[in-house]
Structure 1
């Protein structure tokens, strides 16, 4: 789990001397696996994004480099490109759309050499992804209520911590509703984060999730809090009774504050590839999702799924997670994303 979810421990001198060799080794391994926030801040946004998308770039951009190295554009070129796009989880519909657009561009611009296809493909990808580039707007509602949903393990809890820190940096006051009442670890992680960053967390062990979030919204109204981030229990979209329960949570939020939630945000794990598209469809049908967070892109070779989402269910991607540092949750920018997929 991320650093900002861990409690500080200060062992006494005697204990520290006994375990220091092990602790040092663990910390060294952790440093290698998870770059600290200070290191992340030294990199430009473009460099951090490129680093975060390295696995997807190796899967997609690496293969494309060989294809675009020169030679005549023919049917075999398109067949090879189709295979590369499909194995990068871009999806059948988006792949076909890209191929059709490329063929039309090749004919119109009279392109003959495969080296000219690289910029053409980048342009077509940007065209497909640009409609998803819609920033989250915190309007004049007070509080502005954000409801988060997603399957277990998608990264909801850590995304909440990063979102809260992001909003705080913008001068907003934040309250967190620990609505995942089924998983004790989720409540504990949010409470630890809240304590360390002076964010109030409304929680209740064993209570109904809707009741916890209802109380949180009312508390935010009374205290004039700017933003409420409401966590919900992870669930599989195939379990319809659980999807009905989360729909009930949304209705209860609206009872606490008419018009809320103002944003229904679905967190997706990029590692799930095409399964993420199925999750988008199921949660959108149940909740009318208004925005997406695509997490764990830094650990996935399946970042191409963004194109599949754009074609199948074009819901705005508010943020993408490209690393473990606190500021590695960043707004989605189609042009930056596509450029980071290709070797420069």
Structure 2
């Protein structure tokens, strides 16, 4: 800007000198002339002066447009700095507010988490027991409606205890899939208790009936024992009763208890049985031994036993191919699996669990009787008890097959597969 200013000053002085020279020449030549040439020369000089003045004026205008006064620049700088400072203060305030809010939220979250952990630590043992019994009661809702609610209606309709009352109770038990033989045993025991205790109030019969049911279901060997290491569990049963699902739930349970569990996909004949067991293995984070679909189940069990020994497994759970209980040749194939276990894994404690569907009623009893003839069954798993109003099949299986019920399924979740407890079952069924 200064260079431009200085250059302009030089140009202005040069223009002024040119104008002065023109004026001097004009003054020196001011003599009367009468010729046309002199007049023409004079006019040309005048024109040059006017052009010089015009150019000088244009240069001054251009300069005035381009020159910016220093004071205005400083004012603009100060204004801009003030605006920047205000914006920085606003941003700083907003950041401080956000930091404060975030700190408050973190403190609240930490307090809530600590309170939740304290509640879980204090209430966990009690909550687990209550939930298991509540699940059992909820799972037996239909069975309760089909048995005990009907019994209550009959007892309320009588004013005395007589044979007619006992006959109505007998009919209810038979229609609830308790079975004829088991029902007769229950009624005989109930009659003896009524006479020995001199019961005359029909509503008192209810408590005695509950005690008789509990006595029938009670068995010293009703608990599934896997404390020995290694232990092998062989699951048998017809297709569709829930063998694979039961295996998955057991694997999940014992994995959480800290045991090293291995699964064997021995059901190679049913479509998608291997894939289904793989899904359960993934959920429980346990290993699985499998072959291709259609392979020999005995070969799968053989490889699984070798793997269990090599990996020091605590529990080996084997799925087996579903058998039709009324097909002798298919049932005989199951004997091959037991021979392999006897030969290759004699040191392991063995449990053979028969899985039956409670919704099939007396058919479940027939399955249990047939499988017992072929395999040394140590316990029964009754699944889908939540889906039937004829829960008396538990009594029929225990009484007529003389094999303890060790597990019952009262729902779809992992916790709904429960160890069978005769007292808890009776309390839930009779609505304690």
Does the pair score TM above 0.5?
yes
Structure 1 runs of 4+ with >3 Å offset: 40-43
TM-score, normalised to structure 1's length?
A: 0.85
Deviations 1:3-58 (A, max 9, x none): xxxxxxxxxxxxxxxxxxxxxxxxxxxxxxxxxxxxx9796222110100111111
Give the 3 Å change call, closer, same or farther, for CA 102–172 of structure 1 in structure 2.
same
Q: Pairwise mapping of residues 114-125 of structure 1 onto structure 2 (< 5 A)?
A: 114-125=202-213
Per the alignment, residue 336 of structure 2 pairs with 248
Per the alignment, residue 258 of structure 2 pairs with 171
Structure 2 alignment gaps of length 5 or more: 1-126
User: 1:136 and 1:310 mapped to 2: Cα distance?
Assistant: 15
User: 2:136 and 2:187 mapped to 1: Cα distance?
Assistant: 26
User: 1:73 and 1:238 mapped to 2: Cα distance?
Assistant: 44
RMSD across aligned positions (CA): 1.6
User: 1:259 and 1:277 mapped to 2: Cα distance?
Assistant: 32
Give the 3 Å change call, closer, same or farther, for CA 339–42 of structure 1 in structure 2.
closer
Deviates more, 1:61-70 or 1:207-216: 61-70
Is 1:189 the equivalent of 2:280?
no
Q: Pairwise mapping of residues 95-134 of structure 1 onto structure 2 (< 5 A)?
A: 95-131=183-219, 134=222
User: 1:230 and 1:313 mapped to 2: Cα distance?
Assistant: 23
Per the alignment, residue 321 of structure 1 pairs with 409
Shift of 1:250: 1.1
Shift of 1:324: 0.7
Deviations 1:68-116 (A, max 9, x none): 2251111210110010000111111111111111111111111112111
Deviations 1:296-322 (A, max 9, x none): 101112221111122212212111001
Pick 1 or 2: higher relative contact order, CA cutoff 8 A, min separation 6: 1
Q: 131, 137, 158: which is aligned to 1:50? A: 137
User: 2:206 and 2:338 mapped to 1: Cα distance?
Assistant: 44
User: 2:351 and 2:305 mapped to 1: Cα distance?
Assistant: 14
Give the 3 Å change call, closer, same or farther, for CA 138–42 of structure 1 in structure 2.
closer
User: 1:55 and 1:318 mapped to 2: Cα distance?
Assistant: 21
Maintained 8 Å contact 1:266/1:280: yes
Per the alignment, residue 303 of structure 2 pairs with 215
Is 1:161 the equivalent of 2:267?
no
User: 1:214 and 1:175 mapped to 2: Cα distance?
Assistant: 13
Q: Pairwise mapping of residues 277-288 of structure 1 onto structure 2 (< 5 A)?
A: 277-288=365-376
Structure number having the greater helix percentage: 2
User: 2:327 and 2:229 mapped to 1: Cα distance?
Assistant: 33
Q: Pairwise mapping of residues 1-344 of structure 1 onto structure 2 (< 5 A)?
A: 44-69=131-156, 70-131=158-219, 134-142=222-230, 144-205=231-292, 206-258=294-346, 262-344=350-432
Maintained 8 Å contact 1:62/1:343: no
User: 2:342 and 2:271 mapped to 1: Cα distance?
Assistant: 26
Deviates more, 1:221-230 or 1:300-309: 300-309
Maintained 8 Å contact 1:295/1:320: yes
User: 1:115 and 1:301 mapped to 2: Cα distance?
Assistant: 23
Maintained 8 Å contact 2:352/2:379: yes
Structure 1 alignment gaps of length 5 or more: 1-39
Maintained 8 Å contact 1:297/1:320: yes
TM-score, normalised to structure 2's length?
A: 0.68
Secondary structure of 1:207 counterpart:
coil
Tell me the number of residue pairs that the alignment of Structure 1 and Structure 2 aligns. 304
User: 1:243 and 1:268 mapped to 2: Cα distance?
Assistant: 16
User: 1:319 and 1:74 mapped to 2: Cα distance?
Assistant: 37
Give the 3 Å change call, closer, same or farther, for CA 333–61 of structure 1 in structure 2.
same
